[in-house]
């Protein structure tokens, strides 16, 4: 006796995967609830998806062949949803997605660049920006027509949509799209509105104010709702501000951390010192430990960039020690003593300097 899932797809128990897939597509197309055909049946469509989820997977099919439904109980849900989703994508392309799935169209998004300093990125800042965007034409109320007098669109015969034949995985099918001539309204102007030249929207300049959050990174974008272009119906897209953070003269940013280099003299390296370090907020004072070596990196906790949620990165200071190029006779004698002392004690150069001073 043929098992139920094979019967639902109308295939033999020895059918190949290719035959099962072909049968599934045929059945799904026939019973899909959005197909607007006489054979549309949501319950049958669900059963077909469930059958294909099992038979379309070699491992699940083997369990089903051996144990029946008991062998695959609890395994169908995720795959079944996945199969339905894949086929749903195809049908939304073919049949326009059904009335209940159509979304209201919005105007196009608008993208603008913005350059800020590292200090502004550190503290956050309020910015004012003048944008130019399309807005619904007030003179024609978005119709594009003089005195709002319109006629039926000849391209779509007043339906607002046009059908085109297109190749899909199911063969040649009709695809429903919004009419480009009337923008889905089904109407075109008797005479064009002079203000917008029949477009239904006109370009206007607008000044906006928005906040740049503290810690923003180079290349990040900020989304501002409903400040993109408007369409004929007054629905706006969004504004995207793409942020560039200028390079700092003394600081390099890596993620949330900041890096800098400090050059000090031999004496400061040996004895220790206090130095002023540039910072995006304000210069900070840092203690240089005695015996600091060339290339040593000092870490100052929580003095990096603010993090997205809470806390801050760290500040790293690489130490460069400046060695004198020219020495007077007295300095030469001092350094000779340093060298002699080092040879006798095997101490580091800076430890020797510290002891002798």
What pLDDT digit, counting tens, does each position of 311-356 carry? 999 999 999 999 888 888 887 787 777 777 666 666 555 555 555 4
Q: Do 83 and 207 belong to one domain? A: no
Report residue 187 CA to chain centroid gap.
37
Is residue 216 situated within a structural domain?
yes
Residue 168 lies in a domain: no
Average pLDDT of the chain to the nearest whole number = 83
Q: Please compute the mean of the pLDDT values over residues 39-61 and round it to a whole number.
A: 85
d(CA 94, CA 96): 6
Residues in the chain: 357
* Residues 231 and 315 grouped into a single domain: no
- Residue 178 CA to residue 171 CA, distance in Å, equals 22
pTM of the complete model:
0.60
Q: What is the mean pLDDT of residues 81-101?
A: 48
Confidence (pLDDT) at 26:
87
Residue 236 within a domain? yes
- Considering the domain architecture, whether residues 237 and 258 belong to the same structural domain is answered as no
pLDDT at 99 (0 to 100): 41
Looking at 246, 275, 300, the residue that finishes a domain is 246
Average pLDDT over residues 174-188: 83
60 shares its domain with 24: yes
pLDDT at residue 103 tops 80:
no
| Segment 142-159 mean pLDDT | 90
Residue 118 sits in the same domain as residue 78: no
pLDDT-derived band at 14, boundaries 50, 70, 90: confident
Q: Across residues 246-251, what is the average pLDDT?
A: 95
List the single range of 38-47, 152-161, 280-289 with lowest mean pLDDT. 38-47
User: Could you tell me if 212 and 277 lie in one domain?
Assistant: no
- CATH number reported for the structural domain that contains residue 110 in this entry: 2.60.260.20
Asked if the structure places residue 144 within a domain, the reply is: no
Q: Which of 53-62, 253-262, 344-353 has the lowest mean pLDDT?
A: 344-353
Going by their DSSP bridges, the two strands 239-245 and 201-212 should be labelled as unpaired
Q: Report yes or no on 312 lying in a domain.
A: yes
How many CA atoms lie within 13 Å of 33's alpha carbon, on the beta-carbon side?
13
**3-class secondary structure, 252:** strand
DSSP 186-247: SEEESSB-TTTTTSSEEEEEEEEEEEEPTTPPTT-EEEETT-S-B-TTS-B--EEEEEEEPP
Supply the DSSP symbol for 143: S
63 and 18 share a domain?
yes
- The verdict on 217 and 347 lying in the same domain is no
Domain-located, residue 80 = yes
Which pLDDT does position 94 carry in this prediction?
A: 47
Tell me how many degrees the CA angle 297-299-304 measures, rounded to the nearest 5: 125
- CB burial class (10 A; 0-12, 13-18, 19+) of residue 42? exposed
Bridge-based pairing of strands 315-322 and 257-265 is: parallel
**Residue (of 357, 160, 336, 175) closest to 273 by Cα position:** 357
Backbone torsions φ then ψ of 166, nearest 5 degrees: -145, 150
Q: Per-residue confidence at 67, pLDDT binned at 50, 70, 90? A: confident
- 93 and 21 inside one domain: yes
- Determine the pLDDT at residue 36: 56
| CA nearest to 232, candidates 178, 164, 159, 157 | 178
pLDDT tier at 221, thresholds 50, 70, 90: very high
* 29 and 117 housed in the same domain: no
Please check whether residues 206 and 277 belong to one and the same domain.
Answer: no
The answer to whether residue 54 is domain-embedded is: yes
**Cβ(89)–Cβ(102) under 8 Å?**
no
The domain boundary residue, chosen from 101, 116, 147: 101
Quick: pLDDT tens for 126-137. Answer: 999 999 999 999
Give CA–CA dist 333/261, Å, rounded: 31
% of the chain exceeding 90 in pLDDT: 45
- Domain presence at residue 155: no
Paired tokens of 160: 């607002």
Q: Give the Cα separation of 94 and 35 in Å (integer).
A: 9
Boundaries of domain holding 349? 326-357
Please determine, for residue 277, whether its predicted confidence score (pLDDT) is greater than 90. yes
Residue 69 is classified by DSSP as: G
Domain count, the chain: 4
Domain boundary among 101, 118, 152: 101
Tokens, residue 24: 């599934």
């Amino acid at each position: 006796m043929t098992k139920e899932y094979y019967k639902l797809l109308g295939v033999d128990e020895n059918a190949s995967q290719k035959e099962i897939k072909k049968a599934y597509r045929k059945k799904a197309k026939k019973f899909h609830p959005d197909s607007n055909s006489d054979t549309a049946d949501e319950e049958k469509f669900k059963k077909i998806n469930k059958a294909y989820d099992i038979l379309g997977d070699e491992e699940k099919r083997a369990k089903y062949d051996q144990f029946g439904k008991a062998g695959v109980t609890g395994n169908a849900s995720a795959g079944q949803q996945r199969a339905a989703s894949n086929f749903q994508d195809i049908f939304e392309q073919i049949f326009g997605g059904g009335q209940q799935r159509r979304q209201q169209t919005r105007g196009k998004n608008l993208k603008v660049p913005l350059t800020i300093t590292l200090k502004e990125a550190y503290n956050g800042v309020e910015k004012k920006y003048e944008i130019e965007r399309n807005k619904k034409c007030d003179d024609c109320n978005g119709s594009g027509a003089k005195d709002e007098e319109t006629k039926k669109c000849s391209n779509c015969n007043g339906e607002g949509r046009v059908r085109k034949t297109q190749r899909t995985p199911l063969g040649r099918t009709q695809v429903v799209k919004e009419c480009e001539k009337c923008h889905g309204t089904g109407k075109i102007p008797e005479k064009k509105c002079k203000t917008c030249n029949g477009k239904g929207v006109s370009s206007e300049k607008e000044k906006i104010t928005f906040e740049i959050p503290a810690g923003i990174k180079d290349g990040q974008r900020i989304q501002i709702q409903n400040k993109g272009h408007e369409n004929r119906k007054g629905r706006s897209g969004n504004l995207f501000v793409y942020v560039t953070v200028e390079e700092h003269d003394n600081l390099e940013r890596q993620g949330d951390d900041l890096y800098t280099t400090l050059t000090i003299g031999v004496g400061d390296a040996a004895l220790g010192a206090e130095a002023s370090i540039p910072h995006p907020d304000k210069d900070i004072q840092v203690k240089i430990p005695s015996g600091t070596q060339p290339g040593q990196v000092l870490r100052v906790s929580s003095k990096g960039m603010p993090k997205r949620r809470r806390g801050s990165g760290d500040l790293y200071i690489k130490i460069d020690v400046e060695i004198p190029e020219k020495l007077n006779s007295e300095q030469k004698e001092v350094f000779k003593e340093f060298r002699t002392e080092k040879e006798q004690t095997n101490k580091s150069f800076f430890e020797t300097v510290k002891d002798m001073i």
